[in-house]
Structure formats: C-alpha cells, structure tokens
Structure 1
Amino acid sequence: MTLLSTVAALFLLFQASATGTINGSVITSATGGAVAGAEVTLIDINSPGSGYGIGGVITGVLSTVFLQGTRAPTARVAETSASGRPGPVMVTTGADDRFSFKQVNAGTFRITVASTGFARQEYGQRTVNGPGTPINLTAGSTVQDLTIHLTPTGTVSGRISDELGQPAVDVPVQLVRVAFSPQGKTFQAVGSTNVNDRGEYRLYGISPGSYYLLAGNSPGPLGRPGRPSGLSTAIYALSFYPGVTDVSQAARIEVKSGAEVVADMRVQRENTYRVRGHVIDSRTGQAPPRADISLNYRNLTGGGGGFSSGQSYNPATGTFELRDVIPGQYIVQAQIQEANPPGPSTGAVDFAARQAAIAARPSAQVPVYVQNSDVDGVVLTLTVASPIPGRVSLQGAALSTLANLDRIRVEIRPTVDGIANPPTPTPVAADGTFRIDNLREGSYQIRIVNLPQGFYVKSAFLGGTDILTDVFKFSGSTS
C-alpha cells in the first residue's frame, strides 16, 4: 500500500468513527399502533460545523437517501444553505414504524414528525405548541429507541344559516385559538374554509384543544379571488359560536383526539357603507392635484392589507369617497402620487433606498370605525415624515464594554394596528447613537430588543418624559 493510499484509508476510517446514528419509531398515542408513511425530519440546531458529512447515509425503512448520489423517491433532502451546510433531512417510516438516521456528524438536533390525520409532533413535546427535547449526538455514538407518539386530530363541522334559516352560502368560517404576543392577547387561525351551497362546512386536521369558531366577513375588500359566479353578494356580520358578535359571550369548542364536533350557528346579513372626507397638503394648505386614497385593515388573527374600494377623488375640492366598505376598524390613508426615485434598482442597498424614499412621501393616516352607518368628515392632512435621533448609554460603564452592541435594535411601534410603512427597527451605532426615520404624527410605543443577557432598559426619555412604559405622542416635529 502506498503512503498516499494509507493516509486516505486512515482519513476515511476517522470520518466513519466520528459519525453517529439516531434510531426510533413513530406510533399513535391512541392505540400504540405503528404509523406508516410518517414524514420524520432531522433538524440540526448546532453551531456551524455540525450536520451531515459528505457521503453520509440517512435511512428510513423502505427509503434511503445518499447525500452524494441518487435519492429514493420517498425521501427528500433539503437544499444546502449559503454556509455550505445541508438543511433539514426527511425520511418516511415504513410499515413497522421505524426510522433511522445514520452517519450523522456529532451535534444537537430536533426531530419533527408529520402524518395525515395526526397533529404535527416534535420529539419530547408535551403540550400543543410546546417545545420539544433536543437530541445530543456524540461522535461514534448511537441514540436508540426514540419513540414519538402522534395524536390523532379532530374535526369541526356543521351548518351556517342566515337569520331566515337559509344557507349562508360562501360565508367564511374560521377556527381560532388564543395566543399571546409581546403586544398582548391575540388569536391564531388553525383552520378556515367557506360554507358550501348546502350551508355546510368542515374543518379537519385540528389538533386537540380549545378553540373559538367564527363565521362572517372580516374587515377587508369585498369578495374573494376564485369566488364562483352566480352566488349572492350578501355579506354577514362576523360572529362567534353560538351566534354572538362579542367574544366575551362566545362559547369555546373543545376538540378531542380523533373526535368530531358538530357546531351549527346563525349569522346576520350586513350592509356595506361609505367613507367620505377631504385631503389637505400641509405644505400648501390646498388640496393636492393627485392623491391615492386607500383603506388599511387588520383582521382578528393579525392578517391585513390595503385596498381602494372604488375610490373617487375630486382634486378641485380635495373630497374623496370610498365605497362598499365592510363594517370594522380601518386606517384611511392618503398619499401623494410622486415619481419613483430615478434609475434602476441594482442591489439590496439600492432597493432599500428606493423603499425609504417611497415611505417618506407626504401622507396621512386616520383610524375610523365603520358600524351601522356611513362615515363622514374624515380629514387627511398630508405631512412629510421626520426622523428622531437618539442615543443609548450604559449606566456605570463605557458602552464599548457591552457585547453584541451591533445586534441591539430600537423599535418604534404605532399603537394603532394597520398603519402603513411603520418605522423599521433601527440598529445602534458603536458610539450609541441611532436614528428613527419616517416617523409621522401619531401615538407610539418604544421597545429595545436583542439586549445582551443580564441587561435591561432602565429608562427611555423623549423631551424629558420617560416613555419606556407609556404611549407617547409624536407631533410630527423633532423640536
């Protein structure tokens, strides 16, 4: 054997001994039976340098993946990331519920499992949406007999009728659960559909838990893409099961593993309305010759957007009208139509500059609540966005001693949902300075994120007033 081939053989032997194996099975929590065809995904959560080595093999019963060659049709390997490390790898269990990941480099991993008719599950996960248990694999070791229990999902079905007992055809239906965010209590959608021509709906694949059922039209544009022709254009008041408009009076729906819940309810027909007002350019005191007027909305689950809703604008008087508005909360926005910044966009920096220029155009935003009648007298005073400079200081030490200063971000959030082009999170410079751009007149809250461990924000002052925990009002001027 030549010296070169000996070295190569030793190198390959070292590679093989440095990898490990993870074995396990997937069963149903209801009966303990095997779950065939489950998609098992191994996710590397380790630091750079971990993951799968070139030439490694990942196997599932009846499926094999070679990272450096052909692939079995029942297994998939994610694309390699920009760092050169492979992404998550998935295999499919066979008839005996087994899976195996072989020749895996040492590291820390998560395993998730998905299968039709079962709730998605992570290894070690004890509650819905709860965290799983990381798997630590050392060089040359084998993690044996991991067992992942899948919980059968439930179904919610029923009939939605109007106030006359007739099918509320095509009305949107949602199932939501309570969630919490830094902004407080929110709702998270877990399933949605539309009522069919018989007045029926069915939501399947629902994880066991407690939910609210909603039916009716949320704030937003009238109609939906792909809506069949010939259907009634009626809209319905957004209602919670068993048929109330106030969530405090709603009844929760408890979905159990493998069970079907039948929930019927009635919804009331609703009218659409109009929003009227006028636009003034604060720079001239006159109505602008051109203006884009739109409605921005935010629905119960945090989604949203903007639409024009058949706008009409009279440049001679500055008056406008928006038609066919579904009841709900909106932000009426006006923006002057100005030319885009000249020149083509050639990169991320160029694109960001163009977007910033668009966001800085004179505009106005006013919240309105549409309910039971038209809304008149909305005044949109166009103003130019202003920057606010600031500085971060560290009590009792030089700012240069603070680790990861470049990761800290200063966020200014509008207190009203649906505001378009809100200020973006701003980094802090090495000397502690920062600048919030594109801030307009309105009410805001400040938030500092990505602080190093063990540090907190003691105070945040604007014009001598501590705004750390309170809403502050910006007048549109930094003076």
Structure 2
Amino acid sequence: MSADLAGPVRKAQVKVSSLSPRITRTTVADAEGRFVLEDLPAADYTLSASKLGYLEMALGARRPGAGVPGAPLKLAAGQKIEKVSLKLPRAGVISGVVTDEWGDPAIGVPVAAMRFAYENGYRTARPGGNAVSDDLGGYRIGGLPPGDYLVAATPRDMVAAAAASAESIRVRQEIIAAGDAEARARINEARRDGVSGAEIPAPAGYVPAFFGGTPSPSAAARISLGLSDHAGGIAVQLISLKTGTVSGVVTGPDGLPALASVQLVDPLMPIAGLAVWFRHPGADGRFSFAGLVPGTYVLRAQGTKAIGAAGGGDFTAAMNVTVTSGNTVDGSLALQRGRTVTGSIDLNTLPPPADARRLSVQLYPIMGPSDWEAAVPRATPDERGAFTISPVAPGLYRARVNGLPQGWALASAVFRDVDAADMNLEIKAGEDPPTGVLTFASRTAVLSGAVSNKDGEPVTDRNVLLFPANRDFWVAQSRRIHLVQPGRDGRYEIRGLPPGDYRIAAIDSPEPGQHFDREFLTTLVAGSAEVRLAEGDSKTHDIRVG
C-alpha cells in the first residue's frame, strides 16, 4: 500500500530474491495491491516492491532506495507466509517556473535536478531528474528520493552549446581536409564566406542558470527534499552575460601538434555538461571552449593512442586558467610523459624461499569526481625485489600488491614520509617521487561479533561500520574502513585488518560511498565504541542497538 495515502498501490512490481540458492522471482500487484509468489523453494529471501512515482522499498528496511538492506524473510519447505505488508513511499517532486531575463515565461527550456551523492569520499551533484518548461514556463520533476538538490535551467541556445557544435564541425572539417585537397579548398572558401558552420558564436548570450540566481553551480542555492516532499515555487530566471573563451594547441614532447582528449573543469562543482566539458582536437592539435562563465577552471589533456609512443594516456598536461568576460585565454598544453616510480620489496618480510618475480606491484589511482578513468600502473619486481613503474600520470595513488602467498598481506609501502598502503601518494608533474620500500605481514587481524536489540534478538537491518581512530587514515578506498551487513543471524565478520585503533558502530545504511566521507565519520565518533587490534588478533565485539 501507499505509505502516505494508506491505499493500495496497484500494479506495483514485487520481487523476491535469494543468494542461496540464487533465485529471483517477480510479480505484479493486482487492483487491490495484493500479490502472490508461489512455488518458492526454502530459502532466506529479501522482498521488495517498486512502481513509477514511488520509491523502491524492501521489507524491514529503515529507509527507501534500491539496494538498501531489509530484514530477511525466512521461508521453510512447504511454508505459507501470508499478510505480508509493504508500504511504498511516494517519490519527491520539485516544481517551479522558468522565466527569461525580463521575467516572461521561458517556454521549452530543459530543467535538471541534480542530487548530491558521494564518490570516492567527495560529495558532488549527479543527475536526478529532468523536465522541460511548458507554455507558462512551468516545470515539474518527479521520481526524486530524499536528499539535497541543485536545479538548473539550460536553454538550448546557450553560448556554450553553440560553441561546442561549431568546434565539432571545425574538427571534422580538418579531418576531411587533411586527406582531400579538393575538399580542403571548398572548406577554406566557405570559411572565407562565413558559411562553413564552424564559426564560433558571439561571446554574449545565455549560460546555465541555477536556482539562487547564479550561473555558478558552486554558488547555487540547495534544495533539501524530505521523504515524499514536494518542493514547489523553485523559480529559475535565465541569465544572459558576456562569456569568455579558452583556446589553444596541444603539443607533444617534440613540440608538434598532438592528438589528445582535452577536458575543462570547474573544480568547485564538477557537474557533467554544466561544469565539465571535453574536446577532441584534430590533427592540428587546436581546441576551443567558448561560452564560459567567468571564473577559474582546470584544463587537462591526455594523449590518445593515435600519438603512437604517447598512447594510452601515458602523456598528460594540466594547468589552471582564469576566464574573464569577453576575453580569450591561451590554454595551450604541452604533453609530458608520466613520472617514474621506483622501489623495492623487503624480501626478509616474506616467507622463504621468496620469489619477488611472482608479485605484481600496483599503484591504484584514487580519482576525484571529475577525473578520467585511468589504467592501473603496475610492474613485476626482479629477483632482488626491485621494481620500476613507468609511466605514472600525475595524481593520487595507493600501493597494492597481487600474487602474495596465502594469508600474507601488504604491511607498509613507505615512500619517504608517506605510507602508500594507507595514505595517498601524490605524483606531481615534473617531479619523480622518492624510492619506496614495501614490507609484508602474515598475521592480519579478524574482528567478528553479533548485532542484537535490547531483547537479544538478531538485528539485520543495520550496517556495521569499522573505521580507524586516527583521522589521517580517513581516505577514500581505505583498507581500514569497512562497511558490512550482518547475516540473518545478526553476525558479522571483517578479515584482513592491519593492527591499530579502530571505532565501530551499527548504523542505518548510508548513501553509497558516504562511509568514506570525513564529515560523516566525524558524526559517528561519539556514538561508536573503541576497538584495539594487534597483529594477528581475532577479537569479538558484539553490538547492542535500540
């Protein structure tokens, strides 16, 4: 039934699933909201329901959302479970009106709601829903879960959109002209006549307009939407202003134009399409980003495989650029080869006979929300344990080792004053990092226990979060931060833990990636318990909730 209207939710999709045996069955609720799932084998099931306009809900879950754990439904052979009730909350809504710069209704303008979410410990805005303004300028965006949102209106004739189209045409013309002299002559003639389609538009015009009266996403007003809330009256007025341009040429280490992918980012709020843009220069290496709101941006280039030796992103470049109204900034970038990381395996910390050549030393990239997908640089040590990883693009990395003997783990990866097993190793352009030394241990710790309520009954709808007491270790993808869900008996187990002081708590299921967020962890410290683990410890810690 509906959680807010107390009536049946007709034609909701109802699903049961089990991991052992692996089973998924679905059905559709009838006109009274009733459902039947028959001929199910004995198993522990999760039961959930969903429907357009509502939020997915699992039986026994403490909040709605796909993937949020609920209470397991234990079904014995031949058993019939009746009168199971699932209450679906309605999805949230954001509505309002879009007006032009004179206050008149703006018709046919795309409007986007972006919800804040977590990615590798960063909180950033991601697409949440879309609409188009009607003949009165009104819009309505539904299907929204609770959270904080930004709302932006993006006219189809924005300067940046027209500029991107012109730049794409220019690059295609360069590619055609490079291989056809007759076509090159026709294109040059059209350019002289101003009808090639590749003319960059005038720098004044529409830019993205955010709720709060700003073209900048980092300065936009945030809308807090509760469960099943309707946030109305979210008015957005279009903004027209004189924009700026970043243009330049990408060159390789030899000084010649290079094929590359070029990215421009607003580092304060990197929202795809609104504050993150890409260009793919042609053979002349030229690129242009026009229609930019004045401000400071990060410009990056990554060599493509077409460069030959510079392929696969081995060659990169980056710079900060400040854009001002009506001006063009030179953003020419010179690609440089990635840095070289060297180190050694301490063979004395591995069981004899130690053969380092069976290992793979990796630098795992820790990416921000606007970073490109990156390969994992790796190397195989020689018989003495020495390794060289090259090229490594500038960025943040964590050391990992594959191929270790059963039961062994990386203990430390020290590069001068940074232990890259736990902390981010920063690779800087033009600077090789110090040599590293990697050590290993065979006795990692194990922590287990049970989560129960005040009556001693197992609790399964909470998550157990273990995190280090030392805030220096509060980094994305930390091997010391673990979020686990108890089994149907309320028990949990966490293996492979380095020694140290930890905090542990039973919490409601957080947003994906939220458990790496420093502010979130700070809120949990007071209500968490201390756990100290020595090397090789196997400790039990039970948690009582409620």
TM-score normalized with structure 2 length = 0.55
Residue in 2 aligned with 1:333? 301
| Mapped pair 1:364 → 2:303 | no
Structure 1 segment 14-33 matched on structure 2, within 5 A: 27-33=1-7
CA distances 1:59-93 after superposition (whole Å, capped 9, x unpaired): xxxxxxxxxxxxxxxxxxxxxxxxxxxxx332101
Select the residue among 236, 249, 254 that pairs with 1:265: 236
- Taking a change above 3 Å as real, the CA distance of residues 460 and 252 of structure 1, as seen in their structure-2 partners, is same
Residue in 1 aligned with 2:87? 149
Cα distance in 1, alignment partners of residues 264 and 362 from structure 2: 26
Shift of 1:333: 1.7
Select the residue among 389, 395, 408 that pairs with 1:443: 395
Structure 1 segment 96-115 matched on structure 2, within 5 A: 96-115=32-51
For the 8 Å contact 1:155–1:204, the answer to whether it is kept is: yes
Residue in 2 aligned with 1:294? 262
Cα distance in 1, alignment partners of residues 250 and 39 from structure 2: 67
Residue in 1 aligned with 2:423? 469
Select the residue among 139, 144, 147 that pairs with 1:201: 139
Residue in 1 aligned with 2:518? none
Select the residue among 416, 423, 426 that pairs with 2:375: 423
Residue in 1 aligned with 2:71? 133
Cα distance in 2, alignment partners of residues 40 and 322 from structure 1: 50
Select the residue among 3, 6, 11 that pairs with 1:37: 11
User: SS of the counterpart of 1:338?
Assistant: helix
- Taking a change above 3 Å as real, the CA distance of residues 253 and 164 of structure 1, as seen in their structure-2 partners, is farther
Cα distance in 2, alignment partners of residues 465 and 421 from structure 1: 24
Residue in 2 aligned with 1:69? none
CA distances 1:159-186 after superposition (whole Å, capped 9, x unpaired): 1123321344554422233333432322
Residue in 2 aligned with 1:352? none
CA distances 1:408-431 after superposition (whole Å, capped 9, x unpaired): 97522356x5444523386999x9
Give unmatched runs, 5+ long, in structure 2. 166-201, 436-546
Shift of 1:42: 1.8
For the 8 Å contact 1:360–1:438, the answer to whether it is kept is: no
Shift of 1:37: 0.7
For the 8 Å contact 1:279–1:334, the answer to whether it is kept is: no
For the 8 Å contact 2:257–2:283, the answer to whether it is kept is: no
Shift of 1:240: 3.2
Backbone CA RMSD of aligned residues: 4.8
Cα distance in 2, alignment partners of residues 427 and 220 from structure 1: 46
Mean Cα deviation higher: 92-101 or 245-254 = 245-254
Structure 1 vs Structure 2: percent identity of aligned residues?
19
CA distances 1:279-307 after superposition (whole Å, capped 9, x unpaired): 4432x3xx315534633557957646763
For the 8 Å contact 2:46–2:70, the answer to whether it is kept is: yes
Q: Which amino acid counterpart does residue 36 of structure 1 have in structure 2?
A: R
Shift of 1:39: 0.5
Cα distance in 2, alignment partners of residues 215 and 251 from structure 1: 14
For the 8 Å contact 1:107–1:136, the answer to whether it is kept is: yes
Total equivalences in the alignment: 378
Shift of 1:457: 7.4
Shift of 1:100: 2.4
Select the residue among 369, 380, 383 that pairs with 2:333: 380
Cα distance in 1, alignment partners of residues 335 and 123 from structure 2: 33
For the 8 Å contact 2:249–2:332, the answer to whether it is kept is: yes
Cα distance in 1, alignment partners of residues 352 and 127 from structure 2: 43
For the 8 Å contact 1:277–1:379, the answer to whether it is kept is: yes
Shift of 1:113: 1.1
User: SS of the counterpart of 1:149?
Assistant: coil
For the 8 Å contact 1:125–1:133, the answer to whether it is kept is: yes
Residue in 1 aligned with 2:31? 95
Cα distance in 2, alignment partners of residues 427 and 141 from structure 1: 56
Residue in 2 aligned with 1:71? none
Residue in 2 aligned with 1:184? 122
CA distances 1:135-194 after superposition (whole Å, capped 9, x unpaired): 333444344332110112343221112332134455442223333343232223321233
Give unmatched runs, 5+ long, in structure 1. 1-26, 53-87, 226-231, 342-356
- Taking a change above 3 Å as real, the CA distance of residues 294 and 473 of structure 1, as seen in their structure-2 partners, is closer
For the 8 Å contact 2:303–2:312, the answer to whether it is kept is: no
TM-score normalized with structure 1 length = 0.62
Shift of 1:125: 1.9
Q: Which amino acid counterpart does residue 98 of structure 1 have in structure 2?
A: R
Cα distance in 1, alignment partners of residues 345 and 85 from structure 2: 49
CA distances 1:242-266 after superposition (whole Å, capped 9, x unpaired): 6584656725244563746232132
Mean Cα deviation higher: 327-336 or 260-269 = 327-336
Cα distance in 2, alignment partners of residues 240 and 101 from structure 1: 46
Cα distance in 2, alignment partners of residues 217 and 267 from structure 1: 8
For the 8 Å contact 2:258–2:307, the answer to whether it is kept is: no
| Mapped pair 1:121 → 2:57 | yes
- Taking a change above 3 Å as real, the CA distance of residues 424 and 293 of structure 1, as seen in their structure-2 partners, is closer
Shift of 1:394: 11
For the 8 Å contact 2:303–2:311, the answer to whether it is kept is: no
Cα distance in 2, alignment partners of residues 306 and 148 from structure 1: 43
| Mapped pair 1:236 → 2:174 | no
- Taking a change above 3 Å as real, the CA distance of residues 154 and 409 of structure 1, as seen in their structure-2 partners, is same
Residue in 2 aligned with 1:15? none
| Mapped pair 1:166 → 2:119 | no
Structure 1 segment 247-262 matched on structure 2, within 5 A: 247=218, 250-254=221-225, 257=228, 259=230, 261-262=232-233
